[in-house]
Structure 1
Amino acid sequence: MSRRILLLGSTGSIGTQALDVISRSDDLEVVGLSAQSNWEALVAQAVEHQVPRIAVTDEDLGALAAEAWTDGEVLRGPEGLVRLVLESGADLVLNALVGSAGLGPTVATLGEGIDLALANKESLVVGGELVMALAEATGASILPVDSEHSAIHQLIHGEQATGGLASIEKLVLTASGGPFRGRTRSELEGVSVEQALKHPTWAMGGKITIDSATLMNKGLEVIEAHHLFGTPYERIDVVVHPQSIVHSLITLVDGAALAHLGHPDMRVPIAYALHHPQRTEVPVKPLDLAEVGSLTFEPVDTDSFPCLRLSREAAIAGGTAPCVLNAANEVAVHAFLEGRLPFLGIPEVIDGALQELGSQPIRAFETLYDADREAREVASGLVSTVTA
């Protein structure tokens, strides 16, 4: 019997690659799709994959989709997105939404005991403790789709079969370094949006590409790894690896290290999550180390790229601090992409929001929504004080 897949964020980079993986398999069936605003591409996907139901988060654009596509049901707004999760009958939900908007569907998925393939790292950054507790309570599995966390998931699974988790000393996430690797802080003054969007390795959406350029993406991944694998922050490291061949590694108590290697192609971790616990063929060139020639590694320059430092500080503070970090970052990145904030203004806005709001205890998901809203208001005010 086919595994029924609900794909949230199907028109983005992860979503389109997931559909490519699904189209190559007789064991996977798409039962629903969603998009934030790109309704025309979403409708085209619905026709191609013959799904019975789609959701458009933007209410007005959802109305346009409903007029254009009459072969199935079009759900609209955030509530429609949650309905899509609850009523799809999916065996697995792939959450490839961007930003904190992915938290609600993550909660709905896990609350129903549905397994989750998670490409929306913000779900764990914002609500990690509550999300993981919800998964444990309902028995739902969370399978990471980020290449780094997929690599660690596979490495830990292999170590469980031999020595157990007690043999793992550290988790080491690799970072490409983004388009500005090696630049000093002064050399980052005045960099353009166009320059920041030229990632040297991965083809991704605008927000995550800017996060990679600031290294905020790696900071968010540190928080995600902490929750996914129950690992203290002092045992999670980051190393810059510009070739993006080693996707992550674990170090062991006996001094050895195990690494996951392969050419950078997101279809590999996507296929791993969708087919788990089985593996399947993916049309990716096999790794030939002699052809690659050399693999290099560098420490992270947190003076030039303070977002990683800010992420660790927020993570250690706990409570609502990671939520504030994420919300302020989303506001700052949006402002940078619109030309209203300089590149170095991004960490400045984030730091200012964290300083002003601090950390409050989390009592329920409503606490997070309140913190997110307040952080966006504060960050928006800070953007206007930084000269572009």
Structure 2
Amino acid sequence: MSEIKVSRDTFDEVMVPVFSPASFVPEKGRGSRVWDTEGKDYIDFAGGIAVTALGHAHPELLKVLHEQGEKLWHIGNGYTNAPVLRLAKRLTDLTFADRAFFANSGAEANEAALKLARRYAIDTFGPEKIGIVSFTQSFHGRTFFTVSVGGQPKYAEGFGPQPQGIRHLPYNDLAKAVEAIGPDTCAVIVEPVQGEGGVLPADPAFLEGLRRACDKHGALLIFDEVQTGVGRTGTFYAYMQYGVTPDILTSAKALGNGFPIGVMLTTEAIANHFSVGVHGTTYGGNPLGASIAERVVELISDPTVLAGVEARSRAIKAHLQRIGERFNMFREIRGRGLLIGAELNDTYKDRAKDVLNAAAANGVIMLIAGPNVLRFAPSLIMPMADLDEGFARIEQAIGQLVGASAVTR
């Protein structure tokens, strides 16, 4: 079969236009470096949006992919398989949970969590207990239910009537949350660190207060750890740092290091409200994805890997501090572990995308979280030499951007 030649222009010809991808086309990745179709190299601080926590083409994961690929890729939900059972056992042994439900993404894991919370509440307390409390600027996925629960209206508008019983409150405002959580609340869903919303860590007292309010009113506390989970914040899950245990936890992104897989974790008592046929998935928990995720969990749960997260976090914050002082650029540098946000000050208001584009031109892949926040979510094992070189390129890019701005003014 002849090879079809494609370029960035091909995207505009054949793809549904829900994305606006970069002008270059990545072709190959190794560790924390990526090469495009023209052979240009980039240092990757985005990690596929906090996904490739072990970098690109990790040799241990390639080995698992090949070994399991020769055995069994898919069998369907009428059967179980050994890899998914081993993965579930690893995750329940590592966490508060007794039971796991596997899906294909964070959105699907959150969809399952929200459905389970309502099912549990209706079974236990009656049909009126359906209220869901979420927080402004939160992001929980792109299914219709999860996008309605998410606290960014722009993603839910234009699709007709939304599911009812959802309230959005200010993040980190415990007083308003306590006032809103009541007898009709079935669940509170919260990110321990808001990712898409600007890389905002939760105050410990905020999460502690949510736990108390949920306990008081018989509501379930759901932690969305799709972005914060699997070592991203320096512990395997972020809840472990806060000392607040949720009733349901969702995880995806780094769990498969790029292979699509998500999971909802919960207790036996809550899980029992999902009986046979109540919820399901065709691909979720397939043996190929589960095999890869099991090795990811084994590697990242190593204490030396988790300790390395903090070392890299300090290095990134130090680079940002230095660059911020040189260019008078940042209002605040925040985050936990290797989920870090640098908020631009008024001088650079709404220019995060400009910085991202300048960085790409200088060989760096990075992220933003809204128009004013630069976001960093690299590999948890990123070589320090790559980290330092990447920030040298970022500093050069910002210098060019500032120079261009000075000329135009």
Structure 1 length as normaliser, TM-score?
Answer: 0.32
Which protein has the larger Cα radius of gyration, Structure 1 or Structure 2?
2
Structure 2 length as normaliser, TM-score?
Answer: 0.31
- Relative contact order: is structure 1 or structure 2 higher (C-alpha 8 Å, sep ≥ 6)? 2
